[in-house]
Structure formats: structure tokens, C-alpha cells
Structure 1
Amino acid sequence: MCGPHNIFVSTLRAVFEDCDIPDEAIDAFLFNICKSCPGSMHIVTETLAKILEGSKRACNAYFLKQNILKKKILGAYLQNGNHWTLFYADMDNLTIVFMDSFGESKEKTKTLVKNWSSFAEARGCHGPWTVVSVKHPKQTDSHSCGIHVIMYAEAIMIGDALRNGHVPDFGPIASVRAQLCKQLFNLSDRTGKCSECLLTLRPANKVQCRGCGANRHKRCAQKCCRLCEYCEQIRLHGGDEENDQRTEKEEEERVESQAKNEKEVEEKVESQEKNEMEVEEKDEEDRNEMVAVEDREKEEEKEKEEGQSQSQPDFFVVPGRLAITGPKKKTYTITPEEINRRIVGEKMSAHVFRCLLGGRMANLPAIVRQQPPKKKSVTSIFSCLSEGEASDLATGFGSSLARHFKPVVEGVSKETAESTK
């Protein structure tokens, strides 16, 4: 930044090399010249072009909010869109100086004075205006008109060009470019905005270049400072030797500081990569540990199931439900085949089987646990009896009938009746 104007590295390049001078460079130089001269006012190139080209908008009262009609007016006019010229107006003496590095034409000067008079009268400043001629060095190439305009402005505002009537020769253009480039670099504010991306800097996110003193973002500091490169190029072309010359110690400190910054950046990147790898390794360990725990739980569950299947007997011994209690109480054996027959034939539920076999539900056979706890079955009051106890009960009933009752049922022979005894 140089005042309200943004200065880029490309701007320094254009001033230093044999290129056309951009608008921001012209405005920055003239702004600084007017700043050092109290009572003077700089008009930016875009605004001055509308005034001197006779734009109807320029004569409108709303064209400019700021009053620019002070004692001295200075601005650069881009003639025909490709050639810089200088315009100067003295509001006290009502004089105008128009300077063209290729030479001023009377018709062009007359048009500019007319348009300026219309603009000034619209703001209450009436003429007539007088044109003052000042001799000046001429341009010998096709792209140094901007350099001549800046030197003309310094000679008029700071020097004695108006009083002497001429602008002294300012030497080789290459040396002038180098001096102006260094001057623009020194005038620019490199603390408020990043010299790399031109975004506003925050105190917690900025670092200062030891070479050129420009502030940059930490992320932008990873790149080589382009301002330092141009500082070195400008220094080789001379200029103010007292301010520009660097000692070997300062150069070594700059190189050392730059190497240190690069090393810090590399260490920071390595540390970040290491932390990311550690996090990934830790996540991988956690995942492996979770998989191992799940596998271990599955194995334990499998072993438990196998243990339960091994602990379950091939047959069950249950006490008779109709026998008298006591040491002589009769027991019956229930085999897996009987269980399968009861499931198919009676569709017994798990609860009924538990009543039949007794004990905990977990100790029952797997085929029994798979049955619904409750379901519609074809059970009877004898479903809780084993097949052995039911057979004994049937035999007992038959013996009792054969002992106490004579066979009176027709169709039943005596041999059949005898068989039930």
C-alpha cells in the first residue's frame, strides 16, 4: 500500500524494467508528491480523464463528494488510452501547465483547457485560465512516458521548474527507473497487508521477512519472498548507495533467517505428518483390538455352547409324577427319541417340556429350547408323564380291570381278556 493505492510486485517490476507504467504506480507517486506539498491535491487518473475529456458527468454536482479545488491540482492524464501526460493547475493564479513527453499540440491543449474551465465553473471557480509553457526533456523510446510524467511532477511541485521555466535533464532512464522503483518500495506500507496475497494480516498470523521487512501470512512465508528478489536487482543498478548497500553480515543474516524459516516450516510439516501417522496407527490398533475382543467373545460363546452341548446328557432321568414320595419313588428315563416323538406328535411347547424334564431352561436340549415358550398344542393331562410312566399306568389299569371285573364286553374272547392280567 502507498496511501490509498495498492502496490503489487508486478508494479515494482513495471517501474524497474522497460515497461509501461501502470495506473497504481503513477497515482502512488503523485499522491506522495502532493502529500509533501501542503495545499495541493492529487486527482486520480480515472477521475482526471473524465474531467479533461469533457464528460457530462464531470460537470454534475454529484460527481465528486470531496472538494478537490485547492490551491494546486496535480494529476496524470492517459491520453488516447496509451500515453501518459501531466496536468497541473494553480487555483490562485488561474494557470494551467500541460506537459507531453512527445510535445504538446495546441489543439489538444486548447481542448483540455476548455474542459477544465467547464468543470471548474460548475464548482464556482471562474476563469479565464492561462496556459504556462515549461520546457522539458523529450521521450526517446515508446514506453517511458510514465517515468517522464513522474519526473515532471517532482520538478514542478518540489523543484524550481515553474520559476526557471524548464525541467532539468534527469539522466539515463534505466537509472531513473531503478531509483523510482526503490523509492516506491520504501514508500509502500508492507505491514498491514500480506506482500504475497495482499490480504489483511492479523497479528497472530503474520511473520516479517528479515530481508525486506514485509509482513506475510505464515502460509505465504513458505514461498521465496519476491520483494527480496527485486530489492537485490534494484540494488545492483545503483541508486542511493548509502541506503541501499548491504553489508556481508546483513546478507548472511538474511540468508540464515530465510534458511531458518524454511527449516521451521519443514519441521512443522514433518511434525504434522508424524502426528497424523501416530493417530492413524492408534486408530488401527484400536480397530485391531476391537476385532480381537469380538473374536475372543465369539470364541468364548462358541466354547460355552460346546460346553453346554457336552454337559447335556443323552437321556434324562425324571421321577414319576404318580408315585408315592419317599426313597422307593420310581424314576423313568427319557431318551432323545422320545423327545422327538413328543415334539412331532403332541407339538409340546418349551414350558411343557420343562415340566416334563425338570431343571433350568438352559439345561434342556437345543431342540427343546428352539420350541416356542407357548404354542397351541394337542397335549392332555398326561402330557407331563413320560412314556414309561404312562405305560406303567396303562398296565396297572389293565391288571386292575382283569382282577376285579369279568369280561362282559361282547366280541372279546377269554384269551384276550386273560392277556390283560
Structure 2
Amino acid sequence: MNILHRHTLNKITLSNFVGMVGAYNKGGNHWNLLVVHWKTQTITLIDPFYPSQPNNCEAVSKFQSYLLLRKNKSDADLQVTTYQPIKHPIQQDAHNCGFFKAIVLFQIAECLFNAPKLDSTIPFQVYFPSTKRALQKSRKQFAENILNNSDNLGNLCSQCGKGSQIGKWIGCDRCWRWYHARCMGIPESFATSVFWPCPICI
């Protein structure tokens, strides 16, 4: 019971947020998306392989039971009373479930967070090209955006996470990671003279 209690996120005050999202596994190998919006008291479930159900009273009932199970006094007034279907494209291959849900989630988030606070709502429809080729192209663009907007981790020590240039560095001879010699407990005289695999590659 203690394990179950921890999984209810009962120490987090959900009402401090616009809503919540999560992925849940269906049948052991297929991930679906759950979206909840507090202001409108709505919940929606998105299965990439199927159109949204017009009504899902079971989802409303189960999520309301979850809220009661949490026993968080600050969230005592939170309710989910309505199921809102979202019209969405259908996934056309068996390999892009996660990315498919990410696109849906981004479009929903834009509606929730870009609108004035009092007007935010879950959209009734999301659209994007969902053919295998279109999703592959979108995945590539998505990856490029992440890389272009990420910090250059090549300038940071893979042990301490700092970029100090004090002392010598040692690079793993099996992967791209670099470390401060002193972070690895290696004498600086040793750092450039021998083959060295990092702890991750040993």
C-alpha cells in the first residue's frame, strides 16, 4: 500500500498546474496518451492507432477515483467530470508511437499555454501529416532542433559536469566522453600516454 501511495503523487499539488499529461501502456507493448485539463474538468485519451472514442465514462470514473486516492487536501476540489475526444490523425506504422504522441502533445500544449489563462482549453482537433515518410522527416527535424538548441556537452567533464579548464583532460579511447584527469583520480602525467577506456566503456 505504501508503494501505491507514493505512485499517486500525493505530495504534488496538482492544482498549481494547468493540467497533467502522461503516457500509459496498453496491452504491454503500445503506449497511449492521457491529457487532463483542470479548468474545464476534462480528460482525453489518445490511441495513435484508433480514432478517439466519442465518450469514455470509464476514463472519467477511474481518474476521479485516482484523485480521491491521493488524499491531497490542497487538491480536494479538483474534479474530472467530462471526457473530451480529440480528432487526430491515425498512425500508419508500428514504430512511431512515442514520436506520434509527442507531436500531439506539442499541439495540445500550444493551445493550453499560448492562450490567455481564462481561455485555455483542450483542442477538439489536432492535425499533422502521419504517413511513415512524413513522420520520419518530422523526427529528423525534431532531432536537429534538439541538437541545435542543446548545450555543447563536449566542453563539460562527463564526471563532474563542469567545464573548468584547470588541469589536464583525458578522453575515452572508446567513446566521445572527456573527463578531468583529477576527477578520475588519474595522475596528469598519465593522462595522455596510455590507452584509456572510461568507466562507462569498461
TM-score range, shorter chain: 0.5 to 0.7
SS of equivalent residue, structure 1 residue 78: strand
Q: Cα 1:93–1:82, aligned 2, differ >3 Å: closer, same or farther?
A: same
C-alpha distance in 2 between matches for 1:205 and 1:78: 46
The CA distance in 2 between the partners of 1:175 and 1:194, in whole Å, is 31
Q: Which runs of 5+ in 1 are unaligned?
A: 1-54, 208-216, 227-267, 271-421
**179, 200, 205: which is aligned to 2:160?**
200
Deviations 1:194-247 (A, max 9, x none): 58xx5323444689xxxxxxxxx9323655649xxxxxxxxxxxxxxxxxxxxx
Q: How far apart are the structure 2 equivalents of 1:206 and 1:221?
A: 19
Asked if 1:182 is matched to 2:144, the reply is: yes
Q: Secondary structure at the match of 1:219?
A: strand
Contact 1:193 1:201 in 2 (8 A): no
Distance 2:27 2:156 in 1: 35
The structure 1 residue matched to 2:5, chosen from 57, 67, 71, is 57
Amino acid across the alignment from 2:19:
K
Q: Answer whether contact 2:36 2:43 (CA < 8 A) is retained.
A: yes
Distance 1:192 1:129 in 2: 49
Between the aligned partners of 1:59 and 1:201, the Cα distance in structure 2 is 31
CA distance in 1, matches of 2:165, 2:21: 39
Superposition map of 1:353-364 within 5 A: none
Structure 1 residue 191 displacement after superposition: 4.1
1:226-283, Cα deviation, whole Å (9 max, x unpaired): 9xxxxxxxxxxxxxxxxxxxxxxxxxxxxxxxxxxxxxxxxx539xxxxxxxxxxxxx
CA distance in 1, matches of 2:105, 2:51: 16
**Match of 2:64?**
117
Is the 1:94–1:130 contact (alpha carbons within 8 Å) kept by the matching residues of 2? yes
Aligned residue in 2 for 1:269: 193
What RMSD over aligned residues (CA atoms) do the two structures have, in Å?
Answer: 3.9
Among residues 92, 103, 109, which one is paired with 2:39 in the alignment? 92
Distance in 2 (CA, whole Å) between partners of 1:221 and 1:59 is: 39
Distance 1:206 1:159 in 2: 47
In the alignment, what sits opposite 1:283? none
Deviation for aligned residue 1:162: 4.1
Q: Distance in 1 between matches of 2:162 and 2:6?
A: 40
* Higher helix residue share: 1
User: Is 2:12 aligned against 1:66?
Assistant: yes
Q: Conserved in 1, the CA contact under 8 Å of 2:45 and 2:52?
A: no
AA aligned opposite 1:83:
H
Residue 145 of structure 2 aligns with an amino acid whose one-letter code is Q
Deviation at 1:87, TM superposition (A): 1.3
TM-score by length of 1: 0.32
Structure 2 residues without counterparts, runs of 5 or longer: 113-120, 178-191, 195-202
Alignment of 1:334-373 (within 5 A): none
CA distance in 2, matches of 1:59, 1:118: 14
The question of 1:137 aligning with 2:79 is answered no
Given that 1:75 and 1:88 are in contact with CA atoms closer than 8 Å, whether structure 2 keeps it comes out as yes
- In structure 2, relative to structure 1, the CA distance for the partners of 1:186 and 1:125 (3 Å cut) is farther
Give a deviation string over 1:358-378, Cα, whole Å, max 9, x none: xxxxxxxxxxxxxxxxxxxxx
TM-score, normalization by structure 2: 0.61
More relative contact order in 1 or in 2 (CA 8 Å, sep 6+)?
2
Q: What is the identity, as a one-letter code, of the residue corresponding to 1:147?
A: F
User: Match of 1:170, as an amino acid?
Assistant: P
Partner Cα distance (2:52, 2:125) in 1? 18
